[in-house]
């Protein structure tokens, strides 16, 4: 069993629909292909509505997406401890349903899975600045829970500013940010990737390494392809037992 301080990774992003589920899926596919003898857990902190599971796939919810793709031996509650019907920020969705956001339940699920698994992938909700409660954001939880974190930045116009702003928030709240992953949410040319998300400029502005770029993948249920995509990232900064 690996060091429990290193066996979890929070996958967050600059916003919703930027590719957190895509990266989580790619990392999980890589892990199950090359480290099948070591146990994997996947957890979404909380889900509002159908979540941001990739378009063109069914079912749409993140919980259902991971259940469909991976054999995890986890209950639905372990995959997503808190669930709200409305596709809104959790404090707003919870208020509409006359519910409270029980972070103790989320923490207990997280710590229990972390103890039982060699590696735990934790997908955040929304962006790093998204509210979890009326007082806390995803960045607050990442900092307070000492979670190693990776930031997904979509390849599009404005990506540089989004990366800079999110890294500043992470730094302010003492998030252990391991790196940035660029993600092509739509097909992009090499020229678009270089112009919209220039790696050297992003690194010089943020002082955070860019660990790779996920290409656009049409069929995200192709786990062989997703494992191959993940293998092109700088995994040594993200995963224990990274290289095979």
- Whether the per-residue pLDDT at 86 is higher than 90: the answer is no
The string over 51-72, giving b where at least 16 C-beta atoms fall within 10 Å of a residue's C-beta and e elsewhere, is bbbbeebeeebbbbbbbebbeb
Question: Of all residues in the chain, what percent carry a pLDDT higher than 70?
Answer: 91
pLDDT at residue 53, as a whole number:
53
CB under 8 A, 24+ apart: contacts of 192-195: 192/155, 193/155
pLDDT at residue 142, as a whole number:
96
pLDDT at residue 106, as a whole number:
95
- CB count within 10 Å of CB 136 equals 16
Torsion of CA 86, 166, 3, 78, to 10 degrees: 0
Question: How far is residue 96 from each of residues 57, 100, 107, measured CA to CA in Å?
Answer: 28, 10, 23
Contact 81, 105 (CB under 8 A): yes
Angstrom distance (rounded) from CA 88 to CA 38: 36
Query: In the numeric block, which tokens belong to residue 60?
Result: 């749409």
- Whether the per-residue pLDDT at 187 is higher than 90: the answer is yes
Query: Predicted confidence band at 11 (pLDDT cuts at 50, 70, 90)?
Result: very high
Q: Is the pTM of this model over 0.75?
A: yes
Angstrom distance (rounded) from CA 131 to CA 76: 23
Note the Cα 167 to chain centre separation in Å: 15
Q: Is 190 exposed, middle or buried (0-12, 13-18, 19+ CB in 10 A)?
A: exposed
pLDDT per position as a tens digit, 118-137: 999 999 998 999 999 999 99
pLDDT at residue 209, as a whole number:
98
Query: Predicted confidence band at 64 (pLDDT cuts at 50, 70, 90)?
Result: confident
pLDDT at residue 177, as a whole number:
96
Catalytic residue numbers read 44
- Whether the per-residue pLDDT at 54 is higher than 80: the answer is no
Angstrom distance (rounded) from CA 105 to CA 85: 18
Angstrom distance (rounded) from CA 202 to CA 30: 26
- Domains with residue ranges and CATH for the chain: 8-237 (3.40.50.300)
Strands 8-13 and 119-123: parallel
Question: What mean pLDDT is predicted for residues 166-180?
Answer: 97
Angstrom distance (rounded) from CA 49 to CA 36: 32
Question: What mean pLDDT is predicted for residues 135-159?
Answer: 96
pLDDT at residue 73, as a whole number:
86
- Whether the per-residue pLDDT at 3 is higher than 50: the answer is no
pLDDT at residue 1, as a whole number:
36
């Amino acid at each position: 069993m690996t060091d429990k301080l290193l066996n979890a990774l929070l996958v967050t992003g600059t916003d919703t629909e930027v590719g957190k589920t895509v990266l989580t899926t790619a990392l999980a596919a890589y892990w199950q292909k090359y480290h099948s003898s070591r146990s994997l857990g996947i957890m979404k902190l909380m889900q509002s509505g159908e979540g941001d599971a990739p378009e063109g796939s069914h079912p749409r919810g993140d919980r259902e997406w991971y259940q469909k793709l991976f054999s995890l031996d986890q209950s639905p509650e372990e995959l997503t401890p808190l669930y709200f019907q409305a596709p809104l920020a959790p404090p707003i969705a919870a208020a509409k349903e006359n519910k409270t956001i029980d972070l103790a339940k989320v923490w207990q699920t997280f710590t229990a899975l972390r103890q039982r698994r060699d590696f735990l992938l934790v997908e955040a909700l929304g962006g790093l600045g998204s509210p979890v409660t009326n007082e806390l954001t995803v960045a607050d939880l990442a900092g307070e829970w000492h979670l190693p974190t990776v930031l997904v930045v979509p390849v599009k116009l404005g990506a540089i500013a989004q990366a800079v702003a999110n890294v500043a928030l992470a730094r302010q709240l003492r998030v252990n940010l391991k790196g940035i992953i660029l993600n092509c949410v739509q097909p992009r040319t090499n020229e678009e990737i270089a112009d919209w998300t220039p790696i050297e400029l992003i690194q010089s502005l943020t002082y955070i390494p860019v660990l790779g770029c996920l290409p656009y993948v049409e069929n995200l249920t192709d786990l062989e392809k997703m494992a191959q995509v993940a293998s092109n990232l700088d995994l040594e900064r993200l995963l224990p037992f990274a290289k095979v």
